[in-house]
A and B are shown apart, each in its own frame.
Chain A
Amino acid sequence: GAVVSQHPSRVICKSGTSVKIECRSLDFQATTMFWYRQFPKQSLMLMATSNEGSKATYEQGVEKDKFLINHASLTLSTLTVTSAHPEDSSFYICSARDSVGQFFGPGTRLTVL
């Protein structure tokens, strides 16, 4: 299947700082990528749909000014958690779509102190 990478795999930051997470499709081009968040012992929750060259579409309850998404190329989408707080600590996962379906990255564990 298609390969999707994320960087970094884990990050620890201080409250109030911003953190950028990268999602890359390694062997295919993806016009659409998706960002999910997963809290401990819970299922994945879709945050937003990232479209190359246009604004992201956010799910209800997700603050677009808090979670900035940029999809500047067909192989890269970034999620920036601005002014992170401890409640933003979570496992962030991206997925990218190819002609067959969706493939997921390995996830980024964010811990905000």
Chain B
Amino acid sequence: DAKTTQPPSMDCAEGRAANLPCNHSTISGNEYVYWYRQIHSQGPQYIIHGLKNNETNEMASLIITEDRKSSTLILPHATLRDTAVYYCIGGFGNEKLTFGTGTRLTIIP
């Protein structure tokens, strides 16, 4: 798996967009960027993944830079329930995933 770097913590006001950055400068050409989140005392929840193109689903948007060295996860309208640890992982979903320390996102009322 590619090594990823994320800020340890971020705050975001409720109702605003939360933008979570991730650096993955060593990612290989065919490795995906996966985002998961973990709410306290629960298993990780899949959010989104992408290879080269930007992706959007009902939970979030994923913006990947053209050189694929970094990406940003966007939660368009953050709610208190989005408070969690967010993990950015480079790799293949059908192989083992290596979790880093992630970003602890706190949504402020």
Contact = CB atoms under 8 A, between A and B. Distances in A.
B41 A107 contact: yes
A49 B38 CA distance: 21
B42 A34 contact: no
A43 B42 contact: no
Interface stretch (A12-20, A66-74, A79-87, A94-102): A94-102
Given A43-B100, A44-B99, A49-B96, A104 B49 contact: no
A21 interface: no
Interface in A11-60: 32, 34, 36, 43-46, 49
Contacts of B99: 36, 43-45
Given A43-B102, A101-B34, A101-B49, A106 B94 contact: no
- B interface residue count range (under 10 / 10 to 19 / 20 to 34 / 35 or more): 20 to 34
B97 interface: yes
A103 B93 CA distance: 9
Q: Is the interface of A mostly helix, strand, loop or mixed?
A: strand
Contacts of A36: 99
B93 A102 contact: yes
A109 interface: yes
Contacts of B100: 43
A107 B93 contact: no
Interface in B1-50: 34, 36, 38, 41-46, 49
Nearest to A102: B93
Given A43-B101, A101-B34, A101-B49, A107 B96 contact: no
B43 A97 contact: no
9 contacts: A1-B46, A32-B94, A34-B96, A43-B101, A46-B96, A97-B94, A102-B93, A104-B36, A109-B41
Interface of B: 34, 36, 38, 41-46, 49, 87, 93-94, 96-102
